[in-house]
């Protein structure tokens, strides 16, 4: 049997994702023990899991260091990695949205200053509206940008909406719904086809019984 290398997103989402794999019949008891290890394998089931930073999953999969992995649609849209998207896991659901201060009024004759961690998503979105923008690329705490006058709006992930609310911001427009996706390396998909299909089929059944 060929071992399947699986990149899991470290953190809250990762635990849910691992449970999904576990319930699909691909458990790995060592991963459930408290430790700071990053790589775990279950030979019997033919799986090797590793925890990586969520935004790095697509890099591991695209370059073949992982055969499959779970990445947010936000990352797939932003970096457009050359991978197959096999399944929507219906986990980690949120949306990519434009948000601004409550009193914000767009002035179409001015360049719109957009703060974001997702410059490509923002650019594609505003290009489709032929709106002139100036992107301010930040790495986190995006919500602070319009408050301090660094930007007019932000393009960011909204999950519960609490961060916006507590900072007196509101959604102006939703760009796209986001959820976690199962992705596969293109050559692994060819050479480990049976194994990858067995795994994704197991996950698909989990989804149907949800
Ligand atoms: C994300 C996002 C928002 C927040 C939205 O941040 O950038 O700040 O979650 O969640 P909510 O709608 O439930 O409040 P993350 O925790 O990834 O941190 P960062 O953007 O500062 O890196």
Enter the pTM of the model. 0.94
**Centre of ligand 1 from the C-alpha of residue 161, in Å:** 9
C-alpha–C-alpha distance, residues 13 and 32, integer Å: 15
The pLDDT tens digits for 60-112 are 999 999 999 999 999 999 999 999 999 999 999 999 999 999 999 999 999 99
**Which of 53, 117, 157 for a ligand 1 pocket mutation test, highest count of atoms within 8 Å of Cβ?**
157
Contact 168, 154 (CB under 8 A): no
Tens digit of pLDDT at every position of the chain (210 positions): 789 999 999 998 999 999 999 999 999 999 999 999 999 999 999 999 999 999 999 999 999 999 999 999 999 999 999 999 999 999 999 999 999 999 999 999 999 999 999 999 999 999 999 999 999 999 999 999 999 999 999 999 999 999 999 999 999 999 999 999 999 999 999 999 999 999 999 999 999 987
Q: Which two tokens stand for residue 68?
A: 């499959």
Distance 54 CA to ligand 1 centre (A): 13
Which residues have CB under 6 Å of ligand 1?
Answer: 140-143, 156-163
If one residue of 143, 158, 166 were mutated to test the ligand 1 pocket, choosing by the most ligand atoms within 8 A of its CB, it would be 158
């Amino acid at each position: 049997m060929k071992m399947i290398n699986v990149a899991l997103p470290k953190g809250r989402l990762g635990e849910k994702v691992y449970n999904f794999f576990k319930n699909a019949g691909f458990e790995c008891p060592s991963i459930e023990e408290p430790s700071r290890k990053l790589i775990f394998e279950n030979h019997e089931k033919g799986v090797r899991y590793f925890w990586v930073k969520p935004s790095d999953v697509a890099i591991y999969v695209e370059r073949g260091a992982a055969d499959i992995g779970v990445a947010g649609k936000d990352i797939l849209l932003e970096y457009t990695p050359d991978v197959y998207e096999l399944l929507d896991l219906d986990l980690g659901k949120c949306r990519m949205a434009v948000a601004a201060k409550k009193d914000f009024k767009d002035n179409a004759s001015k360049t719109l200053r957009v703060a974001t961690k997702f410059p490509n998503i923002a650019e594609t979105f505003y290009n489709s509206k032929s709106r002139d923008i100036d992107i301010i690329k930040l790495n986190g705490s995006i919500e602070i940008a319009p408050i301090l006058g660094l930007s007019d709006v932000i393009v960011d992930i909204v999950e519960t909406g609490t961060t916006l609310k507590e900072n007196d911001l509101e959604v102006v427009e939703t760009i796209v719904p986001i959820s976690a996706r199962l992705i596969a390396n293109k050559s692994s998909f060819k050479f480990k086809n049976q194994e990858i299909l067995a795994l994704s089929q197991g996950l698909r059944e989990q989804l149907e019984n949800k």
